[in-house]
Chain A
């Protein structure tokens, strides 16, 4: 197991390097720079000498290969560089945004799992029923709902009309602030989980070993509990892992809408101001999160299904 984890961690290095290179290349070819972004408001006139000094200070006057080498050298020493915008270490910019992002991703996934898996399960147990049809219609709607629109709808209903929850904001340690953004972010994975679970359960229910167990006189609840659930879990876990992994990156719109201080909104701000070190640092964190979650899912497979061995 330890060897497996170590191997997977080593495999992350080329992935991260590729990501860093891609971002470097993209931002070196797209027009606009941090320096010009300082004047993007069209309001404050900036002194040309100040702009030149800033260019020099951040090494933006150096050739691209030199900048890339400097960055990779720093990265090898766990140094993500200095933010152009805040002039502080990149990690200091990212770190306060990390926990709110993780919290939001986990809360959204918690909502998706708690609602989506049982719904998919129950729908599959009564295929073709009104409940099944209703659930699947809901799932399709959930997958196609624009997050921004759904988030606004939640705000209008639960904050403005019912007055049950705050419409925006963040308070460490307070649950009420996370409910609406988590539901808005979790509705799409919830729908996906419901559909995946339903498909998985239907598949297992028609398998030979289930028919055999049923013929042997196993009660339906026991059949579902011992044979169906366990076999569906691998599929559900795979979906869950992929969704949790990608939620942090997907949260950009929701974070903006609810003024949630996560790294998604940090990424957007950094892209628009061409704060490349922060863009790179943020993307590295998002990619790492995705890779680690999926590694943990692989480890969990072994615990769920004894036929799967991680080596």
Chain B
């Protein structure tokens, strides 16, 4: 298994290296036609008003945050700040801001950062990005109405801002979020949704709701010499088969692939050499509700993990477009335990455990599932006969996406199958299993384990990153042992790109979100791209 995991990691890294190796001398000019594959519309051009990945794909071109995610190193790094100094107690950070210009010509200053974060945290505005502000000191008081501003934000001078945090966790994980961009304090707020004004490499040229977003190069982008492209069109294309035709026809330059397409593309000599793969930070799982008596027993939860042949499901249904899950944290996580092995397919062991727990027969439950091909009803239908072999009767409770979250948040389920974020920040996503995390935040299975809580506390207080990592690794291993969910797989994100496209990155946080400023096209591109 160790060898296999090593191979998986090498594969993910290898394709990344291959994709980047060709990007030696970027050429300027031309147009890229990119796709946003999660629907045929976006919610808003103001990313702070929406929690959807589809919107993030567009926002990444327009806006910038204090930090950014580096998909190659797998860590957050400074973006709008050129340097940072950390106080001795590790809780106060002083950022020296870059010289950067908004699309309307306003210059970035410390007041913009303070204004943007106050706006995000303002409870009256009810912005989803408020989640990213919770680590800043004074946000709780501000949100409770006990303060009229966030005390942890302080302007030192026009280009220096000081932020105090409530804990020692690396602030970059939250502040790199595309949902927490820096806006100009002087720009009318009511225009952000229709005429966005960001610090990103591209500015809005035209938006056709329900069809496409057309962007043009922002000449005053702070990174000199970037972006390389003159134009960027983002097509809103939720239909996979339509993207397939458009990609093969050369009408779009990049397309995220589903399992069926992945299988076809890797066998097609004309397409197989231009595919980018990466293990994404999403863990597909079946969560067990402890209000079902049997699920309160660890042996039952473990038995279900042993009873299902996930390798077979990944091969047959996911068409190998996934990696078998070991525990909660994904392969790319710094706290992933490379020595840990996934639950093996062992129906006999499952039977033994069920017998020990007193559920040799008679265990019945339903799994609430959406129609999703990778983590929905088809997967549940595949596990039904496997669990039947060990005496467990499973039924499907089919629902749509909105009802799935409704049922989970209102504790109205036996078990559910879902794909949840499990990174990139290991502390944040393991904290979802902290006993004090409410079910309607992200502790959907109401997991409660004192040892796990201690490890999370230790990790949160650790100043040494290596020590923090070790606590998180142990917590992740404990989670595997406790099996509050059936660990199914980590998504393998796959993007096909045209041979003339360079600079795409294997972004494990979300493949469809790219650093557009680094993308360029070569001379072999068709005339429509020049």
Binding site for B on A (CB under 8 A): 30-33, 36-51, 53-54, 57, 85-88, 93, 96-97, 100, 152, 155-156, 159-160, 163, 166-170, 172, 255-262, 265-266, 269, 272-274
Contacts and interface: CB of A to CB of B under 8 A. Distances in A.
B13 interface: no
A93 B208 CA distance: 11
B146 interface: no
Looking at B44, B193, B209, which has the most chain A CB atoms within 10 Å of its CB? B209
A172 B210 CA distance: 13
Interface string B121-142: 0011011101100100000000
Interface of B: 39-41, 43-44, 49-53, 123-124, 126-128, 130-131, 134, 143, 179, 193-194, 208-212, 235-239, 241-242, 245-246, 248-249, 251, 282, 399-407, 409, 418-421, 432, 438, 440-442
A280 B209 CA distance: 19
Given A54-B126, A166-B251, A269-B40, A45 B441 contact: yes
Contact of A269 (B39, B123, B440): B39
Nearest to B131: A47
A237 B211 CA distance: 33
7 contacts: A31-B399, A32-B406, A43-B282, A46-B51, A46-B128, A259-B210, A274-B402
Contact of A96 (B49, B51, B209, B432): B209
Contacts of B41: 265-266, 269
A205 to B, nearest CB: 44
A38 B51 contact: yes
B44 A87 contact: yes
B130 A47 contact: yes
Given A39-B409, A272-B401, A45 B40 contact: no
Nearest to A97: B210
A32 B400 contact: yes
B102 to A, nearest CB: 22
Given A47-B131, A85-B43, 5 more contacts: A32-B405, A46-B51, A51-B440, A86-B193, A261-B210
The 9 closest A-B pairs by CB, nearest first: A261-B210, A32-B402, A40-B401, A53-B126, A36-B406, A37-B402, A261-B211, A32-B403, A44-B51
- Tell me the dominant secondary structure on chain A's binding face: loop
B209 A44 contact: no
Contacts of B143: 49
A259 B236 contact: yes
B239 A256 contact: yes
A167 B246 contact: yes
B103 to A, nearest CB: 21
A262 B209 CA distance: 9
Nearest to A101: B210
Contacts, number: 176
Contacts of A51: 440
A53 B53 CA distance: 22
B269 to A, nearest CB: 17
Contacts of B127: 50
B479 to A, nearest CB: 17
A48 B419 CA distance: 20
B131 A45 contact: yes
A43 B242 contact: no
A41 B49 CA distance: 16
Nearest to B54: A41
Contacts of A261: 40, 208-211
A43 B212 contact: no
A272 B401 CA distance: 7
A258 B242 contact: yes
B468 to A, nearest CB: 20
Which residue among A46, A156, A259 has the maximum number of chain B CB atoms within 10 Å of its CB?
A259
Nearest to B429: A45
Contact of B40 (A31, A38, A39, A265): A265
B407 to A, nearest CB: 7
A260 B209 CA distance: 10
Contacts of B432: 45
A171 to B, nearest CB: 9
A31 B238 CA distance: 24
Given A42-B420, A88-B193, A260-B211, A167 B401 contact: no
B210 A47 contact: no
Contact of A170 (B131, B211, B241, B246): B211
Given A44-B131, A47-B130, A269-B39, A168 B235 contact: yes
Given A32-B406, A43-B421, A50 B235 contact: no
Nearest to B126: A53
B188 to A, nearest CB: 14
Given A43-B53, A255-B40, A266-B210, A38 B241 contact: no
A164 to B, nearest CB: 11
Contacts of A46: 51, 128, 131
